[in-house]
Structure 1
């Protein structure tokens, strides 16, 4: 514990950290995962060593890791260790502890902690069979959009009507200027942040992209979106702003939250529902086993990269860190990105 640290500060370190990640745009599901893991860790320290987190040594952390291994898969242990590492990095940064004990722990752990651990291998025919079982127009639109764009669940929820430009009579609104001259495309903004107002409403998710992205819509996705728009509920009048059309969400609820913008939790629930029926989701299963909305981003990245052999285009579509290379795709969207995408994007409904 740092010199001069007050007992009350020490007792609230987990709470402070959770507030910090919430302010930095982590969605509710992610924040809940951190809270669950860190609360369990806090209880472990108190019960086993009668310590608070800032007092823990690397041996205390290793003891927790050892206990996790008796009940969790290696990929889940790796994920939880990464959570704890970020927590201690935060405590070190704000002066609640002198050093991060997880630095040594991570060096000694036998498994590596990767941002993309080994995942379930689903073939394209298997994914087509999965999609074929999804009949609900909204659910089908959610899953096909995620599979064919690689966007995050929160980014899908933040899509407004004006972010969609369809060359079809189903489009009755004016698309935003960024895609007005680019028919059959989706625009993913960088401006939306969890808990902050954007477009006249408070957002339930953040768009984590480093730059704005225009994603092509092929005929398959176009057909799914048109079918969704044919049954899409109207947004309740009491939730409209003076510039209602500009902020009306593309995807809205058809059940309990009728006509209201979807949240990431709803998207996760929809995907989990169908994945469980398929045997692709198990309570307690980790990222290597369970199919979630983020798995679809992994599926998109892997398959499109292998088909195109062009990492730059995949990075652009994913909205990854900007670079001079990505700038060339931004300015040559029509000739390079769109043509390459339409030539190589896989079909999931055939």
Structure 2
């Protein structure tokens, strides 16, 4: 990601880098920042190509007008889905609105453009309908111990990629493993604890984190026999962690022994999905299988199997006081029993 550059004569040399640096300070994830940078740099390239922009002259993002913005949005139409066009427009609108709000730009040229657009972001896109049988075939092709541990953990727990990255060994309770676990796991064998606290850029358990856990309340997630075997297989070959925090998932390629990042998790999933024909560059949420799709898969299939939205919401970490209280105090009798009776099997 670009970093903020020095200003000259009171003008920011690289407004996009300035905006992205502020996103870091606001705790936005690396993946979010990368998405913004791709879109903003594409718009910047458009402005720097006289044959494409309306005025036929090269200009900076700080000099862009409403017509420049309209022309870029129009150029996107026909080569991107309507929801993608709306998403790109929202990124550009957010950029200009923020820079105007902090006093770096005099106006937001995207304000009227987004008001007049017909395209809208699809907040609930239709996703691939992948059966358990098809996912079973997919999992069978993932043989690398780390990759399989990442994929099976996401599929069996419904947690977010960042939450997986933040797991430490102390968050895991498995029979036959001799290590210190959290007090929250006392009396809850074969389970993992997902905390709410880790925040990107802040120290947690003695290590600065590269991702935030977005759940507001703690969750104890059961581990079935398939996930148990997968995790034990991974732990048997896991590199010694560099961090004293004892990350559960560490890299085995570059940066040996370091905690995995959301970018690594995304790369693992999309690489295997691409090999399986489930992901392509430029594809949208309706087409591509990503770590977030696994959360959707978990939610859909477990909810349909149990008929119990409350337990699924609890496992996902969704905020609801009545749900959290009910299942926190009845974890052993209700959550584990329902989970083990209904969780899909891959092996």
Q: TM-score, normalised by structure 1?
A: 0.85
1:91 paired residue among 99, 104, 121: 99
Residue ranges of structure 1 left out of the alignment (5+ in a row): 1-5
Residues 75 and 287 in structure 1, CA contact (< 8 A), matched pair in contact too: no
Per-residue deviation at 1:13?
A: 3.9
Per-residue deviation at 1:120?
A: 2.3
Per-residue deviation at 1:81?
A: 2.5
Residues 158 and 316 in structure 2, CA contact (< 8 A), matched pair in contact too: yes
Give the secondary structure class of the aligned counterpart of 1:215.
strand
Residues 158 and 299 in structure 2, CA contact (< 8 A), matched pair in contact too: yes
2:74 paired residue among 53, 56, 66: 66
2:178 paired residue among 172, 180, 202: 172
Q: How does 1:115-126 map to 2 (within 5 A)?
A: 115-126=123-134
Question: CA separation in 2, counterparts of 1:84 and 1:308?
Answer: 42
Q: How does 1:88-167 map to 2 (within 5 A)?
A: 88-96=96-104, 102=110, 104-166=112-174
Q: How does 1:249-288 map to 2 (within 5 A)?
A: 249-288=247-286
Question: CA separation in 2, counterparts of 1:90 and 1:225?
Answer: 44
2:203 paired residue among 197, 200, 205: 197
Count of equivalent residues: 334
Question: CA separation in 1, counterparts of 2:24 and 2:318?
Answer: 21
- 1:45-88 Cα shifts (integer Å, max 9, x gaps): 45525665566565543322211123323343233233223324
- C-alpha change, 1:258 and 1:324, in structure 2 (3 Å) is same
C-alpha root-mean-square deviation of aligned residues, in Å? 2.6
Per-residue deviation at 1:107?
A: 4.7
More helix by share: 1
| Number of the residue aligned with 2:4 | none
Question: CA separation in 1, counterparts of 2:187 and 2:93?
Answer: 46
Question: CA separation in 1, counterparts of 2:196 and 2:124?
Answer: 23
| Number of the residue aligned with 2:194 | 188
Per-residue deviation at 1:197?
A: 1.9
- C-alpha change, 1:338 and 1:85, in structure 2 (3 Å) is farther
Per-residue deviation at 1:329?
A: 2.8
Per-residue deviation at 1:130?
A: 0.4
- C-alpha change, 1:87 and 1:323, in structure 2 (3 Å) is farther
Question: CA separation in 2, counterparts of 1:109 and 1:125?
Answer: 41
Per-residue deviation at 1:223?
A: 1.7
Question: CA separation in 1, counterparts of 2:70 and 2:293?
Answer: 30
| Superposed structure 1 runs of 4+ greater than 6 Å apart | none
| Number of the residue aligned with 1:3 | none
- C-alpha change, 1:8 and 1:324, in structure 2 (3 Å) is farther
| Number of the residue aligned with 1:292 | 290
Question: CA separation in 1, counterparts of 2:316 and 2:183?
Answer: 21
Residues 75 and 288 in structure 1, CA contact (< 8 A), matched pair in contact too: no
- C-alpha change, 1:317 and 1:12, in structure 2 (3 Å) is same
Residues 189 and 213 in structure 1, CA contact (< 8 A), matched pair in contact too: yes
